[in-house]
Amino acid sequence: MTRNFLVFLIGAIILLVFSFAFCYAAIYAENLIAGIFALVGFVATLAMSLAIGIACRDESTSLALWFYGVAVITGVFLMWYLTRAGTLLQIW
């Protein structure tokens, strides 16, 4: 089962990288569809990392720490993106 979790970890990191690329394009090129893709990607990465991290913890796998790490990094990027987008849209 560890090999499957490792594939999910690599997939989560790739999804995080693409979400950050879309986030960067949304903020600096003012592309709305890229912003939507970035938001969906960040939320999907966060949900997937937390869910699989909990599943790894139940099986006492050491990969749980890696998934929690990806979830923390995704949360930081998501908060940065939301505050930056909110500032550009003059929400706050």
> 66-86, pLDDT tens digit by residue?
889 999 999 999 999 999 888
**Residue 22 domain boundaries:** 2-88
Query: Model's pTM, two decimal places?
Result: 0.86
Spell out a b/e string for 38-74, using b for 16 or more CB atoms within 10 Å of the CB, else e: bbebbeebbebbbebbebbeeeebebbebbbebbebb
Q: Mean pLDDT over residues 32-41, rounded? A: 91
Domain count, the chain: 1
